């Protein structure tokens, strides 16, 4: 039988991280849970940021994240990421994004609650709070590299500040005197006025007419569910639904009270989870008799490595909602109900020690989201 190693039940230190990866010969698993609230808060006049990478959450080698807020007019300055693509979900409020691709094409778009974006690696972009009024925007940035660092990325202000002024002046067709007000260090998050309503024009006057053929925006929350049952639903944004998102897939999942995202695994990607509301029990199976169960609350991150069997159960008193992010643009999964429903009875009798009458009660099709306490659809 599998031994469940649960640090909460055994009374061990919840903050301890035991390993950077799961050793097949290990007798104890690393922690598959991390609280974003544990991370230092970086506060600036225009907003805040918290970051979690593989340095803080060692099991998540391939996915990192930043939880950011922007006040109205607060601007996450023009920047790019050299080692990761950026996927984001707007939790609250509204923001405006500008992005320029490798062909010099500009897209300017406004995002609200439930919208997502995807920026390929190396594409320069900015994010600015829109309000309305004093409403602060809150959004989650997720990156397809666990060792990404938001605080060591490439910012335009930092680049110009570190470059000899003569070179900057020559490059921008300005005199050194005209550059006297340039920042002397990285701005990161600046505070400015709330942007005007769209459409707006770029410096050249061309504005958004240079938009690339693949938009960087997708309205995830407003889409038809990919899966819908009596116990919950899932909205999906893979490269199939959101073509520019070639290296990452995102999903918004809601589970009703007692709902269970059934036992399953992903052959091609890790699964990174962020709890928006409710209380979730994550179980992860690591083979060789090792498994763990951890409880996740709003602001917590859960993780299931590629190929590891896992399930997500709503154990709270009300509905739960969570984001799922995968480090592949192609969504693949195999669920336990699919596996069992496709097998002949004689094999299941031998494999699971179950009688034929019991086997006949098993699901005859994929459940995907089921009742957690033995209920049937």
Task: State the catalytic residue, choosing from 51, 77, 86, 107.
Answer: 86
Q: Residue 220 corresponds to which tokens in the numbers above?
A: 């995830």
Active site residue 81: yes
Give the model confidence (pLDDT) of 28-61 as tens digits. Answer: 899 999 999 989 999 999 999 999 999 999 999 9
Distance CA 122, CA 230 (A): 42
- Determine the average pLDDT of the residues in 93-97: 98
Q: Beta strands 189-191 and 106-111: pairing type?
A: unpaired
| Cα separation, 79 vs 160, whole angstroms | 12
Helix (H, G, I), strand (E, B) or coil at 157: helix
Active site residue 216: no
- Residue 185 per-residue DSSP state: S
Q: Which CATH class is domain 226-371?
A: mainly beta
Rounded to two decimals, what is the model's pTM? Answer: 0.90
Active-site annotation holds for 125:
yes
Active-site option among 51, 77, 107, 150? 150
CATH number of 37-218: 2.60.120.10
pLDDT in tens, 120-145: 999 999 999 999 999 999 999 999 99
- The first and second tokens of residue 63, run together, are 């996915």
Q: Is 86 a catalytic residue?
A: yes
Omega within 30 of 0 (cis) for the link into 199: yes
The CATH 2.60.120.10 domain(s) of the chain lie at 37-218, 226-371
Nearest to 127 by CA among 186, 185, 62, 195: 195
Active-site pick, 33, 50, 76, 96: 76
């Amino acid at each position: 039988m599998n031994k469940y190693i649960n640090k909460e039940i055994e009374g061990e230190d919840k903050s301890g991280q035991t390993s950077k990866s799961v050793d097949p010969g290990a007798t104890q698993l690393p922690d598959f849970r991390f609280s974003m609230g544990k991370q230092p808060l970086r506060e600036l006049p225009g907003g805040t940021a918290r970051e979690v990478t593989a340095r803080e959450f060692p099991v998540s080698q391939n996915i990192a994240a930043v939880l950011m807020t922007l006040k109205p007019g607060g601007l996450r300055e023009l920047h790019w990421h050299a080692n990761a693509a950026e996927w984001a979900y707007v939790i609250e409020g509204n923001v405006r994004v500008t992005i320029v691709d490798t062909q010099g094409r500009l897209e300017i778009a406004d995002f609200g609650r439930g919208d997502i974006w995807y920026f390929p690696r190396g594409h320069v972009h900015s994010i600015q709070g829109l309000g309305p009024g004093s409403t602060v925007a809150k959004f989650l940035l997720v990156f397809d590299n666990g060792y990404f660092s938001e605080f060591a990325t490439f910012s335009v202000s930092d680049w110009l500040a570190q470059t000899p002024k003569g070179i900057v002046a020559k490059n921008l067709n300005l005199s050194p005197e005209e550059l006297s007000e340039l920042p002397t260090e990285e701005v990161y998050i600046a505070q400015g006025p709330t942007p005007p309503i769209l459409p707006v024009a770029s410096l050249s006057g061309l504005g958004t007419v240079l938009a690339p053929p693949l938009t960087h925006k997708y309205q995830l929350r407003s889409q038809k569910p990919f899966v819908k049952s009596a116990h919950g639903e899932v909205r999906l944004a893979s490269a199939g639904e959101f073509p520019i998102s070639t290296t990452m897939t995102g999903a918004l999942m809601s589970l009703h009270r007692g709902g269970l995202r059934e036992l399953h695994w992903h052959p091609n990607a890790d699964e990174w989870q962020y709890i928006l509301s409710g209380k979730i029990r994550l179980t992860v199976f690591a083979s060789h008799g090792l498994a763990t169960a951890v409880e996740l609350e709003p602001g917590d991150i859960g993780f299931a490595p590629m190929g590891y069997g896992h399930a997500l159960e709503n154990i709270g008193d009300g509905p739960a909602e969570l984001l799922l992010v995968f480090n592949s643009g192609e969504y693949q999964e195999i669920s336990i109900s699919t596996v069992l429903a496709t097998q002949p009875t004689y094999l299941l009798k031998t494999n699971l020690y179950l009688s034929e009458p019991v086997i006949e009660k098993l699901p005859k099709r994929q459940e995907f989201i089921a009742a957690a306490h033995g209920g049937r659809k």
